[in-house]
Amino acid sequence: MPEAPVFAADAAGIARAAEILRGGGLVAFPTETVYGLGADATDAQAVAHLFEVKGRPSFNPLIAHVADIAAARRVARFDATAERLADAFWPGPLTLVLAAREGAVAPLARAGLPTVGVRVPEHPAAQRLLEAVGRPVAAPSANPSGRVSPTTAAHVRSTLGGRIDAILDAGPCAVGVESTIVGLVGRPSLLRPGGLPLEAVEACLGGPLAAAAQGIDAPGQLRSHYAPSVPVRLGAATARQGETFLGFGPIDGDINLSPSGDLVEAAARLFAALHELDATGAVGIAVAPIPDRGLGRAINDRLRRAAAPRD
Ligand code: TXA
Ligand code: MG
């Protein structure tokens, strides 16, 4: 397959991208969190192709992306809690896992589960694309399975450029880590920390979320997800010989995620920094401690996966 064309996120680019998606093709597109690799969620063939291109070890369920809450209600059953969270945080970096409506997305997109993850992204290019497609778009992060999520079109191009149909480029993603996933089948629970702070979700619900159940509720949460090609060492005060160093706040490094200690800025830079340090040829990446609050939770979650033993 030739290198995927890169379209600017203008009216013409979005129209071409939508046409490819409606025809069963694969298009990487920007969201406020990370770049997603989209396929028409109603087209089982397109979704199967997407799994193949990602090289996912199993059929993990995919998030259905839609333009607005009305479209989300056609994909999933909303109860009062879901309405409340959607009203407070959509469009935005929140995914809700709800009971699926039969027939709304291909069963393969849900990995055969009776539930579905649904999200309304805030990025204007994603919004316009979803409106133009007029169908739910299944989109995992646009990286090969097990690798760091892409926050620029160049990241997508360097890993998947030869295997997909187009890339819609709108510059770097503002949030930089994936959406927060809240499960609302049974007790509200945190399935994945992400770009919306847990504290904001809990304030909206007026109580704590349950911890994620292990197993089928948190598929795709492989330990060694988000992995650079070299070992990652966390909570480091300094680099050891041959290592490159990712700093935070006053602990400076080859790259500093945020010299001022701002966790929002650090999240936005995280994956690009890992990509960059991975490309230096260092024998490992050491990472300074990151406070475990707000977006720091999502950052530490991704870093623990990057540091986990490779299976
Ligand atoms: O920010 C994001 O969420 C990005 C952008 C592109 O929207 N997408 C993303 O997708 O991170 P992905 O496929 O890389 O991660 C989705 C996670 C997976 O861990 C998957 O197992 C979980 O969501 N998930 C999806 N549907 C689910 C369901 N029905 N039940 C439980 N977990 C689900
Ligand atoms: Mg992913």
Q: Cα(96)–Cα(99) distance, rounded to whole angstroms? A: 10
- Work out which ligand 1 atom sits closest to the CA atom of 216: 31
Strand pairing report for 180-183 and 27-29: unpaired
What pLDDT score does 164 carry? 98
Which ligand 1 atom is the nearest neighbour of the CA of 100? 29
Mean per-residue pLDDT of the chain: 92
In this prediction, residue 220 carries a pLDDT of 45
d(C-alpha 39, C-alpha 28), whole Å: 9
Whole-prediction pTM? 0.87
Residue type, 300: N
Which ligand sits closest to the CA of 182?
1
Residues 164-187: pLDDT tens digits?
Answer: 999 999 999 999 999 999 999 989
CA 182/CA 194 separation, integer angstroms? 10
Give yes or no for residue 63 CB within 6 A of ligand 1. Answer: yes
Q: What is the pLDDT of residue 111?
A: 84
At residue 239, does pLDDT exceed 50? Answer: yes
Handedness of CA 16, 37, 133, 1 (dihedral sign): positive
Q: Which atom of ligand 1 is nearest to the CA of 142?
A: 6
Distance CA 215, CA 213 (A): 7
Q: Determine the distance from the C-alpha atom of residue 249 to the mean position of all C-alpha atoms in its chain, rounded to a whole number.
A: 25
- CA distances to 209, 212, 217, 237 from 80, in Å: 16, 21, 21, 46
CA of 210 to the centre of ligand 1 (A): 18
Distance of alpha carbon 27 from alpha carbon 30, whole angstroms:
10
The Å distance, Cα 250 to ligand 2 centre, comes to 30
pLDDT digits (tens, 9 = 90+) for 8-44: 999 999 999 999 999 999 999 999 999 999 999 999 8
pLDDT band of 49, cuts 50, 70, 90: confident
